[in-house]
Amino acid sequence: MTEMNGSIRSDIHQPIRDRWSPTVFADRPVEAEKIATLFEAARWAASSFNEQPWRFIVGVRGEDETFEDLVTCLAEGNALWARHAAFLVLTMAKTTYDLTGEVNRHAWHDVGLATGNLSIQAAAAGLAVHPMGGFSPERARELFVIPEEWEPVAMLAAGYEDEPENAPEGVTARLKSERSRHPLAELVFTGRWGESRPLT
């Protein structure tokens, strides 16, 4: 283990180290096989009662109207750069259990697990994924006729990353630098709230 940013960093897998959220994407399509592997990775995420309460709407730039419809759901600041991604994804969570009909309060957590799998698979494949909360769930529901029991959760922009100097006009590129996270002492407790658990 090594010290980094005031915390302990163990030998985590390279795709986790590599994953980040750029705002500049190359004008290059992503191979259909690679896109399929991302959703296959998402499909194998864990979920409460194995309900798999996730669904995805995917739009590929230049291939269909879905991409442009997804762009119109984005907040203006996100649309400025995300419209240049190779494809966009809307993630959704089913808010009730198929098994019982009761409220599934773990659904958003499970969609997060699936999205995490997708993002790490993307990093392993040389792709980048940028999740976004800045979008209109109401517009997405209307455009894509999403059933009432399904909630739009987030949008993802994905593709091959490009150099910052190739940022579209009006877009300030995020520069890739050493990522920072809260130290483990602030995140992992034992006993009562705020009592840090030593991990070494």
| 3-state SS record for 53-84 | CEEEEEEECCCCHHHHHHHHHECHHHHHHHCC
Structural domain boundaries enclosing 82: 22-162
The amino acid present at 153, given as its one-letter code, is V
What the block records as the tokens of 128 is 């980048």
Classify the C-alpha dihedral 68-70-71-72 as positive or negative: positive
Q: Is residue 49 part of a domain?
A: yes
User: Does any domain span residue 182?
Assistant: no
* Whole-number pLDDT of residue 167: 84
pLDDT band of residue 177 (cuts 50, 70, 90) is: low
Q: Which residue has the tokens 């995917």?
A: 58
Q: What is the pLDDT of residues 133-164, one digit of tens each?
A: 999 999 999 999 999 999 999 999 999 999 98
> Does 196 map to a domain?
no
Which domain CATH number covers 123? 3.40.109.10
